[in-house]
């Protein structure tokens, strides 16, 4: 499928989904949202894709936020719908049983930051800038920012960023735990591809169980999370990939997983 606002490429089992409105700093409008949901659904259903990279076209932005020009006509009801659709895209990323890595190349603000936080982890270029600047427009984050950001950086730091609307650079984002790695811009996508390829070589079904255990477990109390983990651990013993992984270890060879 082709898209007007996104670009989709494939390198073996790794898909690279690029926000492709560089003239608008890849800002999110209604068309982007519709196509993003379509692309995420297609990638989730594609058994040949086992890891996904989200990035932005050009060198200035991952996603600079929502396309503010569209906000002038939004009623309160339409605003709830827009925020919900963007938030559900982030949640779709978080719940997808595949590894999803954000490669942030430039501005990652507002809805862009909310989408990046839905990914399993974030690699950032040295020129990356993060923030939830909605308060500068007289609004608040509406697609997960007030909920995901405190879970990444702690409640007090999240309040500071949301209440001031300030941006932080990549090194500060690394220091407070929002991103995993900071790289020179030319090295960003190659590093993301290398990590995604490494994850894609693991058992897809087992990685999906690990992701679900983390996502669901960290949303509940420790005892419930441990119970979820125990069940997921048990389920791995029903897979062909568990048998292959154990056999490969005992035979001192590299495992060849079939993702089932």
| H-run or E-run covering 116 | helix 111-118
Quick one: the chain helix, strand, coil %, rounded to 5? 55, 15, 30
State yes or no: is 134 an active-site residue. yes
The encoded tokens of residue 10 equal: 């494939």
Angle at 36 between CA 80 and CA 6, to 5 degrees: 130
Nearest one of 39, 47, 146 to 87, comparing CA atoms = 146
For the chain, how many helices (H) and strands (E)? 10, 10
Alpha-carbon distance 98 to 47, whole Å?
Answer: 10
State yes or no: is 244 an active-site residue. no
Alpha-carbon distance 153 to 161, whole Å?
Answer: 10
List 114, 126, 229, 240, catalytic entry: 114
List the beta strands (DSSP E) in the chain: 6-11, 14-19, 51-56, 61-63, 99-104, 107-109, 121-125, 129-131, 168-169, 181-183
DSSP structural state of residue 39: H
List 59, 126, 134, 215, catalytic entry: 134
Alpha-carbon distance 45 to 101, whole Å?
Answer: 18
Q: How far out from the chain centre does Cα 156 lie?
A: 23
| Residues designated as active site | 114, 134
């Amino acid at each position: 499928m082709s898209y007007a606002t996104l670009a989709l490429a494939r390198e073996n089992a790794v898909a690279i989904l690029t926000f492709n409105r560089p003239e608008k700093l890849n800002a999110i409008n209604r068309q982007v949202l519709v196509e993003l949901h379509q692309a995420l659904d297609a990638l989730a259903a594609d058994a040949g894709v086992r890891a996904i990279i989200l990035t932005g076209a050009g060198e200035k932005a991952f996603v600079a936020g929502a396309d503010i020009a569209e906000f002038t006509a939004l009623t309160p009801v339409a605003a709830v719908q827009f925020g919900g659709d963007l938030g559900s895209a982030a949640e779709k990323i978080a719940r997808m049983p595949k590894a999803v890595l954000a490669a942030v190349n430039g501005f990652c603000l507002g809805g862009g930051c909310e989408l990046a936080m839905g990914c399993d982890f974030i690699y950032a270029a040295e020129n990356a800038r993060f923030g939830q600047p909605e308060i500068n427009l007289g609004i608040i984050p509406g697609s997960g920012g007030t909920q995901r950001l405190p879970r990444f950086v702690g409640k007090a730091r999240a309040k500071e960023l949301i209440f001031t609307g300030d941006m932080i650079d990549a090194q500060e984002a690394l220091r407070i735990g929002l991103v995993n790695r900071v790289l020179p811009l030319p090295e960003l996508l190659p590093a993301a591809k290398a990590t995604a390829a490494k994850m894609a070589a693991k058992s897809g079904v087992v990685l999906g169980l690990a992701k679900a255990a983390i996502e669901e477990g960290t949303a509940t109390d420790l005892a419930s999370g441990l119970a979820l983990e125990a069940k997921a651990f048990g389920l791995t013993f029903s897979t062909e990939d568990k048998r292959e992984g154990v056999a490969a270890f005992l035979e001192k060879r590299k495992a060849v997983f079939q993702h089932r």
